[in-house]
Structure 1
Amino acid sequence: MSGAKLRLPLRALIAALAAVLLISGCSSSSERPRDEPAEAVAKVSFQPGTGAKEVSPTARIGASVQRGAFDSIELRNPDGEAVEGQLAADGKSWRATEALGYGKTYSWSGRATGEDGKPVEVRGSFRTVEPDRTIHATINPTDDAVVGVAMPISIKFDEPVEDRAAVQRALHVRADAPVEGSWAWLNDRQVDYRPKEYWPARTHVTVEADLHGLALGGGAYGQADLSTGFDIGRSQIVKGDVRTHRMVVVRDGEQVASYAASYGKEDDPGRNTPNGTYMIMAKHPVEIMDNPEYHYRNVRKTWAARFSNHGEFIHENQDNAAALGAVNNTHGCINLSAADAKAYFDSALIGDPVEITGSAASMPPRFDVYDWLLTWDQWQGKSAL
């Protein structure tokens, strides 16, 4: 009897322990982790990526959101000024509409809401390139100018340009009449555009030079964009055959004047009026002329139209009246009477062509404006593309 009494409590104890273990095991397997918030479905991306450096100021700058739309978005410069931009109609993308500055950090801010109704903050930044130096450029003709049919477009830089091909790719010329033309580098600081033939008369021309943000080589970048819009006037061409002692003016295909003239002295190479196609570069009612080699200084002449930086003008020389129409005895200029010089001066535009023929010498293409002294093949050979 005593043995049976000892076994009964043991069975009860084992059963109790088993129950405890069963309860403990069931409790452990049924416990769930605390719920975490589901991630918002909207995803914002940037161009360039946030944290980007050495970004071109003219690179495509924008932001977009997937599975959502922007409630607000801004890009600000270090001074807190907002960059101009445009939000798409569907609110899913934004792009900058202005060029950025050099060496600046730009920061994004705003908010987007996803398809799940959950907000996403817009945050990020990038930095634009810091040039070693910037190169300034100018363009001619200037806005609203009216010029002659031989006028080139000229862009001049204040430092030499290494990547000339990059510059040419950033230059755009549009004319409202069909024109075949080309850019040519006259030196490492100047690129000119001229048509194969003279510009069509009464043509409007626009030029855009997208230089801001453009890498010019050697760590240099373009300082600013340039643009101009100008008009080609009537066609007026000076025909100067030195053998005739006349200066003929042809306007819109018709001869309108034939002036008695004296050209450069033929038997002195230093005094020839050289063959070549030039253009009127400048006009001055009074010009003071010097040529120490030929022993004259401070000579005052009127109605002077310069057509070469070598020193040639069309101008009045009443003191040489006896030679006009008869003898070539000047120092290279085209002498006219006072009345004829004024008549021509008043009719001339900057950029009008002057065609000299019949001379004993030709002008070498090395002075400041020699665009029309080159053949078309020679001109195209100076392109960087």
Structure 2
Amino acid sequence: MIERRMVFKAALAAGAVMVVAACSSDGPAPPKGGSGDNGGQGTPEQPPLAKITAEPAVDAKDAAVSAPVVVKVAEGKLTEVKVTGEGDKEVKGDLAADGLTWTSSEVLGYGKTYTYAAKATGADNKVAELKGTFTTINPAKQVRATLNPADNAQVGVAMPISVKFASAVKDRATVEKALKVKTDKDVEGAWGWLSDTQVDWRPKEYWPANITVSVEAKLYGVDLGGGVYGKADVTTKFKIGRNQVVKINTPDHTMKVYRGGAEAKSYPCSNGLDSVTDRNTPNGTFIVMSKEATARFDNARYGYTNVNKKWACRISNNGEFIHENQDNAAAIGKTNNSHGCVNLLESDAKSYYDSALVGDPVEITGSNLPGPIKSDVKDWLYDWKTWKTLSAAK
């Protein structure tokens, strides 16, 4: 009985094998060497899900130096990002908290080659890589700009902001977009091009007194036109002082000084000779451009050279000053007989000199001579409507 059971079990086992064999014989036989469809080499490797991209792209030429470098990943997270320049110096940058983006935090150099080395891990736990290089723009010429007023200066309420370039600017509109003015209070103003190399910003009305002004000229990497690029950014932060305005009506032979809108001082003066228009003190609103305790005056046309006068405040590049002329004391307050300057008695000239700030307005009326438009400080000789036409902004 025991033996018969064993034989029966064996027969069942053999039958099971036969059934399995019969079922598997319905399909085609696998190719020699293994199973699958890659010629016997096993299942093909799937590429990583994560995909890394960069701006500038790998192999990019003439990349901008002011735009940030950005490395991004899709279907994964960045685990390592290095952008290196010459000498393997790493470009500073920050990886976003979500691991999806790396952004540089410093500007690039002109005419340089940079190398990418980035890694990311995808949802499939596979590592994707980005390698390669790009090169930045190499300008035909770099131009430096200067900003005035200087840092920490205190200036008068008519002081313009002036940006001067070492060579002509062709793309004025682009340059204006790179210039920013910030103030403590809202102040309406505009940029105006006084020449190919100079653009000024002035308020519509005089500056409010005692405010702080900050200026940014983000010119590095900016195409000024014709293959010329800005060499560096420049900034300044200065303060507007008290409101002081000089008013001179030339026939009155008097120079009045107003503080905060109220008359503070009145000085007798002698202005340009009335009978000769070219010698008139010109009409217009000027500013105190500079101050010199002693200034030398030369005018060969009118027969004098190397004449020294004290307490001189320049109000134009055409040769006009407010200064001491004690030698002309007999005419001061009575007759206009100068060559265009405003003559004061020595004590009065010293008093005014000590009170003046560069940028204070000087308003002159009553003359037959218009303001000298050839001066490079002529911002207030234009009315507001005309000034706005000097801007390249659209």
- In the superposition, the TM-score normalised over structure 2's length comes to 0.89
Judge conservation of contact 1:68–1:92 (CA < 8 Å) in 2.
Answer: yes
**Taking structure 1 as reference, are residues 35 and 258 closer, same or farther at Cα in structure 2, changes over 3 Å only?**
same
Aligned sequence identity (%): 49
Q: 2 CA distance for matches of 1:86 and 1:30?
A: 49
Moved more, 170-179 or 160-169: 170-179
| Structure 2 match to 1:131 | 139
**Taking structure 1 as reference, are residues 153 and 27 closer, same or farther at Cα in structure 2, changes over 3 Å only?**
closer
| Structure 2 match to 1:99 | 107
Q: 2 CA distance for matches of 1:320 and 1:30?
A: 116
The aligned runs of 1:177-256 (5 Å cut-off) are 177-256=185-264
Q: Which SS does the other structure have where 2:102 is aligned?
A: strand
Question: What do residues 235-258 of structure 1 show as CA deviations (whole Å, max 9, x unaligned)?
Answer: 100001111111100011111100
Question: What do residues 258-285 of structure 1 show as CA deviations (whole Å, max 9, x unaligned)?
Answer: 0111111100122110111000000000
Q: Which SS does the other structure have where 1:266 is aligned?
A: coil
Say how many residue pairs are matched.
364
Q: 2 CA distance for matches of 1:348 and 1:41?
A: 71
**1:130: Cα distance to partner?**
1.0
**1:58: Cα distance to partner?**
1.4
Say if 2:282 is the partner of 1:274.
yes
**1:360: Cα distance to partner?**
2.2
Alignment equivalent of 1:301, drawn from 301, 309, 325: 309
Question: What do residues 264-320 of structure 1 show as CA deviations (whole Å, max 9, x unaligned)?
Answer: 110012211011100000000010110100111110101000001100101111111
**1:327: Cα distance to partner?**
1.0
Question: What do residues 28-65 of structure 1 show as CA deviations (whole Å, max 9, x unaligned)?
Answer: 59733423333222211111211111111112321011
Moved more, 289-298 or 76-85: 76-85
Say if 2:82 is the partner of 1:82.
no
Judge conservation of contact 2:267–2:344 (CA < 8 Å) in 1.
Answer: yes
**Taking structure 1 as reference, are residues 26 and 141 closer, same or farther at Cα in structure 2, changes over 3 Å only?**
closer
Q: Which SS does the other structure have where 1:229 is aligned?
A: strand
Question: What do residues 100-149 of structure 1 show as CA deviations (whole Å, max 9, x unaligned)?
Answer: 11111111124222222222233122111111111111111111111101
Judge conservation of contact 1:365–1:374 (CA < 8 Å) in 2.
Answer: no
Say if 2:268 is the partner of 1:260.
yes
Q: 1 CA distance for matches of 2:219 and 2:346?
A: 46
**Aligned AA for 1:270?**
D
Q: Which SS does the other structure have where 2:88 is aligned?
A: coil
The aligned runs of 1:5-84 (5 Å cut-off) are 28=32, 31-32=35-36, 33-84=41-92
**Aligned AA for 1:226?**
V
**Taking structure 1 as reference, are residues 249 and 26 closer, same or farther at Cα in structure 2, changes over 3 Å only?**
closer
Alignment equivalent of 2:119, drawn from 111, 116, 119: 111
Q: 1 CA distance for matches of 2:34 and 2:133?
A: 47
Q: 2 CA distance for matches of 1:344 and 1:30?
A: 104
Q: Which SS does the other structure have where 2:109 is aligned?
A: coil
**Aligned AA for 1:184?**
G
| Structure 2 match to 1:343 | 351
Alignment equivalent of 1:381, drawn from 368, 389, 392: 389
**Unaligned 5+ residue runs, structure 2?**
1-25
| Structure 1 match to 2:174 | 166
**Aligned AA for 2:347?**
A
Q: 1 CA distance for matches of 2:329 and 2:35?
A: 119
Question: What do residues 320-371 of structure 1 show as CA deviations (whole Å, max 9, x unaligned)?
Answer: 1111111111111111111111111111000000000111222231212111
**Taking structure 1 as reference, are residues 120 and 267 closer, same or farther at Cα in structure 2, changes over 3 Å only?**
same
Q: 1 CA distance for matches of 2:281 and 2:34?
A: 109
**1:378: Cα distance to partner?**
1.4
Q: Which SS does the other structure have where 1:72 is aligned?
A: strand
Say if 2:338 is the partner of 1:334.
no
Q: 2 CA distance for matches of 1:67 and 1:179?
A: 49
Q: Which SS does the other structure have where 1:323 is aligned?
A: coil
**Taking structure 1 as reference, are residues 137 and 26 closer, same or farther at Cα in structure 2, changes over 3 Å only?**
closer
Question: What do residues 78-115 of structure 1 show as CA deviations (whole Å, max 9, x unaligned)?
Answer: 22211111110122210011111111111112422222
- In the superposition, the TM-score normalised over structure 1's length comes to 0.91
Say if 2:368 is the partner of 1:360.
yes
